[in-house]
Amino acid sequence: MSRVVIRTESLSKQYRLGARLQKHPTLRDAIASRASSSLARLRPGRNGASREDHSIWALRDVSLDIEQGDVVGLIGRNGAGKTTLLKIVSHITEPTSGRAKIKGRVGSLLEVGTGFHPELTGRENVYLSGSILGMRKAEIDARFDEIVAFAEVERFLDTPVKRYSSGMQVRLAFAVAAHLEPEILLVDEVLAVGDAAFQRKCLGRMGDVAREGRTVLFVSHNMAVIQALCRRGVFLDEGRVRADAPIADAVAEYLRQVEQAMTEDLLARTDTRGWHNYRVRAVEISSDATSAPGLLVTGRPARFVFHVTAVVPSMSCAFTIHNNLGQPVTDFSSSVGAPADSVDTELGNAFVCELDEVLLVPGRYRVDVELRAQGVEQELIEGAAMFDVEQGTLDGRPIARRTGGDVVLRHRWKRPVDEL
Amino acid sequence: MARLRAVSTIEAPSRTAEAVRDEDDFDVVVERTRGFPSVRPRELWAYRELLYFLTWRDIKVRYKQTLLGVSWAVLQPVLAMILFTVVFGHVAKISSSGIPYPIFSYAALVPWYFFSTAVVFASNSLVGNQQLVTKVYFPRIFVVASPVLGAAVDFVLAFVILVGLQAYYGIGPSIGALALPAFVLLTAAAATGLGAWLAALNVKYRDVRFVVPFLVQLWLFATPIVYSIDRLHEPWRTLFGLNPMAGVVLGFRWALAGAASPPGLLMLVSALSGLVVLAAGVLYFGRTEKTFADVI
């Protein structure tokens, strides 16, 4: 009989929006709000409701039993409560109601490089970070060489970390974390860093951890990675458990929801991040004026139109195309200019991005949009739109769906024989 | 396993706490805590190595990329001593109870710098370690304790100069030197209490950052460092002891700088006041601790 090592009982967590959005309240504000709340008390019937509006439930009634050796993928859109769940299980924050019970030593990796100090050397940081993540000095001593070898930074051990390249920093940070030996490992999206070779290495390490029978809770937006690593999937939506099933089923459910969300009015979406002074109203994707919306063809032009609520100077728009496994394929940003770019005041409240030819293989793709203005992120919408790419030709060469990636490049062959 | 195993179950309302014990033997129960925080000495002990590493980091990093490095620990009180000697000793001719003014002020400045450095660094500690607070669990009080321990290292260095100054003026330690460890502990207690309170307040109100330098400056003059309170009448003299640093400073002068009389009743008041500051600061810290990660 397997034993339960994490049990959450009707776990709920409420955040007051004021506390989260406005990062640095001052005494003056506190005095002012105290004054206004005592005013509100003088006018009955005005308080209660407004207080409710300023809070959101990051988690609602989450009850899960996770058994020893389970490798669980937590999936869901931004703000679905994945990170909040990890933070409660790792004891960083308390739930508003309900409880989480944990058996065994927990290692939480909510970020790469927790506790790293740029002024300290690589060697010193291994000890500092290791100790912060919960290793004892004796354990770090025992694993030190292994960690350094994994990170491939032997030659720079006595150099301050601030002189490292960002790749080296990430490698060292992950290496420390990867050599934690907790019974329960909580991982939040940390594999999204580093170069491809190192990512593979990290995945291998995660796989080892899972095979050793340890319990892993893993958050990622990368469905391919999550399906490769996890056996069980928990799909969270607006703080509630929407699906708790074998990973393939949970992912399918999640992708279905993402697609469904895209047909919604973007302004009605509540899962977008940012300051929201300005928002993206709608995204139109088409091949040309006559083609069906949301349908592109390999090798043919494409036009992405982003309608926003208002345009202000120095506003910029960026978007990322993801394949149907959630892996980013390529991104675009209006803030990085080129001579071919133009300014058209006739456009109204819209950004337009035109491609002469779609260099994607046939398949389904998702678009994440980011709108920036006034130096801050105004809105980040995951899965703002979706489009399908149909088979087409590139320079006359037919392009079909292949397993070798998502993009196609213009090219030509010189053949020694005529094999056609 | 050892680390979280050692974490005691967070205090639950008594009824549910029993329910937990009836079920499986979970090591940790995370739920909303109400009322006064429980002190968890076993947890602090389990994490002791982390306190060591955090202190070690603070010491290492403090003087990184400074020209004079750790000499600053000594230079600050020495320069203040020279300045005070010129301004208050020679120009204003403030009475120093017959003790040479340099050692009169320096014997007070050594514990004072311990206190003020500890308070300044401790009050910024939580905000400065935001990344840690929001990403990993450990007893938060260590973040406050480590700058206090770091300041203690500076204190030891500055203390060496004090011994040198004693030799120069030919002033030997009195019987009061035996009480020095107690004076040092009192300084650390008051600094930890005040630091914990300010650090917790700083999480919510960043005003603290602006208040602290002013507070420290004011406190310097509210402590008999540049002046003597020998001619002050009772009960005012004893009331001075409400400032824990007043007792510490007089104690240091009595122990090392040849001051004739022990601080007496004032010392008792200072000791009690210091313990109250420690308890109040740590309690406030404990009460707000659970929301740090959400608010910071």
B29-41 pLDDT, tens digit per residue, is 888 877 666 667 8
| Subunit contact B131:A115, Cβ cutoff 8 A | yes
**Highest mean predicted confidence (pLDDT) among A365-374, A384-393, B94-103:** A365-374
Is residue A236 very low, low, confident or very high in pLDDT (cuts 50, 70, 90)? very high
Give the pLDDT confidence score for residue B125 in this predicted structure: 93
How many angstroms away from the CA of A142 is the closest CA of chain B?
16
Taking the C-alpha atoms of residue B222 and residue B147, their distance in angstroms, rounded to an integer, is: 23
What is the reported pLDDT for B212? 95
Chain A interface disruption, residue of B61, B136, B209, most A CBs within 10 A: B136
Tell me whether B18 touches chain A (CB under 8 Å). Answer: no
Candidates B4, B64, B132; nearest CB to A114: B132
Q: What is the mean pLDDT of residues B214-235?
A: 89
Interval A37-93: pLDDT, tens: 555 444 444 333 344 456 788 899 999 999 988 899 999 877 788 889 999 998 888
Are residues B49 and A136, on separate chains, in Cβ contact within 8 Å? yes
Residues in B 154-213 with any Cβ partner in A closer than 8 A: 204-207
DSSP letters, A177-218, are: HHT---SEEEEESGGGSS-HHHHHHHHHHHHHHHHTT-EEEE
- Cβ contact, residue pair A102, B134, below 8 Å: no
CB contact under 8 A, B294 and A96: no
Helix (H) or strand (E) holding A285, with range, is strand A280-286
Residue A144 reports pLDDT greater than 70: yes
Partner A contacted by B15 (CB < 8 A): no
Q: Lowest-confidence range among A177-186, A197-206, B14-23?
A: B14-23
Q: Which residue of A has its CA nearest to B33?
A: A94
User: Does residue B118 or residue B238 have the better pLDDT?
Assistant: B118
- B180-204 vs B101-123: helix axis angle to the nearest 10? 40
Average pLDDT score over chain A: 83
Write out residues 49-68 of B within 8 Å (CB-CB) of A. 49-50, 53, 56-57, 60-61, 64-65
Indicate the average pLDDT of chain B. 85
Q: What is the pLDDT of residue A192?
A: 55
What 3-state class would DSSP assign to A302? strand
Query: Taking CB atoms and an 8 Å cutoff, what residues of chain A touch B293?
Result: 87, 92-93
| pLDDT-above-70 percentage for chain A | 85
What is the average per-residue pLDDT within B46-73? 86
Q: B5 at the A interface (CB within 8 A)?
A: yes
Asked whether the beta carbons of residue B293 and residue A98 sit closer than 8 angstroms, the reply is no
With beta carbons under 8 A apart, name residues in chain A contacting B33.
Answer: 94
Is B25 or B5 the better-scoring residue by pLDDT? B25
Low-confidence winner among A46-50, A246-250, A403-407 (lowest mean pLDDT): A46-50
Of A53-62, A256-265, A299-308, B116-125, the one with minimum mean pLDDT is: A256-265
Q: How far apart are CA A10 and CA A99, in angstroms?
A: 7
Distance from CA of A131 to the nearest CA of B (A): 6
What does the pLDDT look like over A88-124, one tens digit per residue? 998 888 899 998 999 888 888 887 778 888 889 999 9
Helix axis angle, B208-222 relative to B180-204, nearest 10°?
A: 150
Q: How many CB atoms lie within 10 A of CB A247?
A: 22
Q: Kindly state whether B90 is in contact with chain A, defined as any CB-CB distance less than 8 angstroms.
A: no
CA distance B56 to chain A (A): 9
Query: Which chain B residues have a beta carbon less than 8 Å from that of A112?
Result: none
CA angle centred on B221, ends B217 and B224, rounded to 5°: 140
Helix or strand (DSSP H, E) at B31: strand B28-31
Between the ranges A210-224, A241-255, A402-416, where is the mean pLDDT highest? Answer: A241-255
B4 closest CB neighbour out of A3, A104, A136: A104
B48 and chain A: CB distance < 8 Å anywhere?
no
Put simply, the answer to whether B31 touches A102 (Cβ < 8 Å) is no
The pTM score is 0.73
- What is the distance between the terminal CA atoms of chain B, rounded to a whole angstrom? 30
How far apart CA A92 and CA A403 sit, in angstroms, is: 42
**CA dihedral over A333, A334, A339, A341, signed as positive or negative:** positive
Q: Quick count: other Cβ atoms within 10 Å of Cβ A375? A: 6
Q: Which of A32-41, B91-100, B138-147 has the lowest mean pLDDT?
A: A32-41
How far apart are the CA of B76 and the nearest CA of chain A, in angstroms?
A: 23
Nearest to A137 among B32, B49, B138 (CB): B49
Q: How confident is the model at residue B249 (pLDDT cuts 50, 70, 90)?
A: very high
B138 interfacial to chain A (CB closer than 8 Å):
yes
Residues above pLDDT 90, as percent of chain A: 29
Is residue A19 over pLDDT 70? no
Q: Chain B: give the shortest CA distance to residue A247, in Å.
A: 27
Q: What is the mean pLDDT of residues A266-285?
A: 88
Pairing state between β A232-237 and A71-75: parallel
> Which residue among B26, B53, B138 places its CB closest to the CB of A103?
B26
State how beta strands A106-109 and A184-188 pair: parallel
The SS3 of residue A253 is helix
Integer Cα distance of A148 and A124 in angstroms: 12
Mean of pLDDT values over A198-227: 80
pLDDT for A22 beyond 60: no
ipTM of the complex: 0.80
- Chain A nearest-CA residue for B9: A101
pLDDT in the model for residue B122: 95
Q: Which residues of B8-43 are buried (b: 16+ CB within 10 A; e: fewer)?
A: ebbbbeeeeeeebeeeeebbbbbbbbeeebeebeeb
pLDDT for res A2 = 63
Q: Which residues in chain B are contacts of A105 at CB distance < 8 A?
A: 1-5
Q: Is the pLDDT of residue B153 over 90?
A: yes
Q: What is the mean pLDDT of residues A347-352?
A: 90
- Facing A102 at nearest CB: one of B28, B207, B293: B28
Instruction: Give the closest-approach CA distance of A55 to chain B in angstroms.
Output: 13
Q: List the single range of A393-397, B189-193, B214-218, B275-279 with lowest mean pLDDT.
A: A393-397
Strand partners, A286: A303
Q: Which helix (H) or strand (E) holds A306?
A: strand A302-308
Residue B46 in this model has a pLDDT that exceeds 80: yes
